Structure 1
């Protein structure tokens, strides 16, 4: 290697070192700190996703076993995240439950494990009923609950949540991805 090439490389290296040492260091936040700063959307999602059950009202439903009207408490919890189903598909399955399956029985038929039964799935949304084995409601009630979750838990076009019906050991109607 010639002396001129070595000299140029040496001066280039010295220039790089000099620039690096004299460049002012800015107050840099780590990437994890930058990503952890909540945005207004994040704060809105947190407000929606309060894990405390929200009392809805006393509702009157027909008990499919006795065919009598029963007044019971209902509450809900929003579980909307970026992984929740779209409001569109949640409204579609709710409309189908209230329309096509209106008077049919939606029952929990899973005796083991999760004690949840998936009732319907369309697009990226599903509705499940969880709780006591072989207990349930007419599907119109599940559809109503789906519309309620879609209307009250929506965030960025997505919605997910749980609707509880009954007292003591309430039945849970869950709206989630299939």
Structure 2
């Protein structure tokens, strides 16, 4: 009985040690990642203004009619100390614009969140949310990712939502992988 208790305790200790040794270490010290100064808090408040910021009118091909449609696009930054790194957001955006350029980035989740994670690399992911089977060329999603990294970055981190407002409102989100 005593031996089995010691074995269980040793097992838990080894599991803890294994987790501690294999946990990735961030490049930045914690003091640089979290909003610790009033200036950091103020910068995040400005970046994360919840009002959608108008971006531009974009033109894309409607998947049903195959006609070009112009829609208004806007974005909201959601950058926090828990956001993905700008590096990995730029990597997934580049891959969407390069390797997956003309492929369909499609929303395949009919229930629940109505969001589909399209790609994840490192600590970043991109998702499409909206109507079931709604799709865009992956090039558009990659462009939106670059836009979020360029306009929502803080201390090497970025996150946000990019909205395409036409008859089927769609949003691209840039976040930690699920």
User: What are the residue-to-residue correspondences of 1:21-170 with 2, within 5 Å?
Assistant: 39-167=38-166, 169-170=168-169
Q: What is the CA distance between 1:38 and its match in structure 2?
A: 5.6
Q: Which runs of 4+ in 1 moved over 6 A?
A: none
Further displaced range: 62-71 or 96-105 = 62-71
The structure with the larger Rg is 1
TM, length-normalised to structure 2 = 0.76
Q: 1 CA distance for matches of 2:168 and 2:54?
A: 15
When residues 168 and 52 of structure 1 are mapped into structure 2, their CA distance, relative to the original with a 3 A threshold, is: farther
Matching residue of 1:9: none
Q: 1 CA distance for matches of 2:161 and 2:49?
A: 12
Q: 2 CA distance for matches of 1:118 and 1:157?
A: 22
Further displaced range: 164-173 or 81-90 = 164-173
Q: 2 CA distance for matches of 1:87 and 1:167?
A: 29
Q: 1 CA distance for matches of 2:135 and 2:84?
A: 23
Aligned residue for 1:141, secondary structure, equals helix
Aligned residue for 1:126, secondary structure, equals strand
TM, length-normalised to structure 1 = 0.76
Asked if 2 retains the 8 angstrom alpha-carbon contact of 1:48 and 1:78, the reply is: yes
Q: CA RMSD in A?
A: 1.6
In the alignment, structure 1 segments of 5+ residues that lack a partner are 1-36
Aligned residue for 1:155, secondary structure, equals coil
Q: 2 CA distance for matches of 1:97 and 1:168?
A: 24
In the alignment, structure 2 segments of 5+ residues that lack a partner are 1-35
Asked if 2 retains the 8 angstrom alpha-carbon contact of 1:64 and 1:138, the reply is: no
Q: 1 CA distance for matches of 2:143 and 2:173?
A: 12
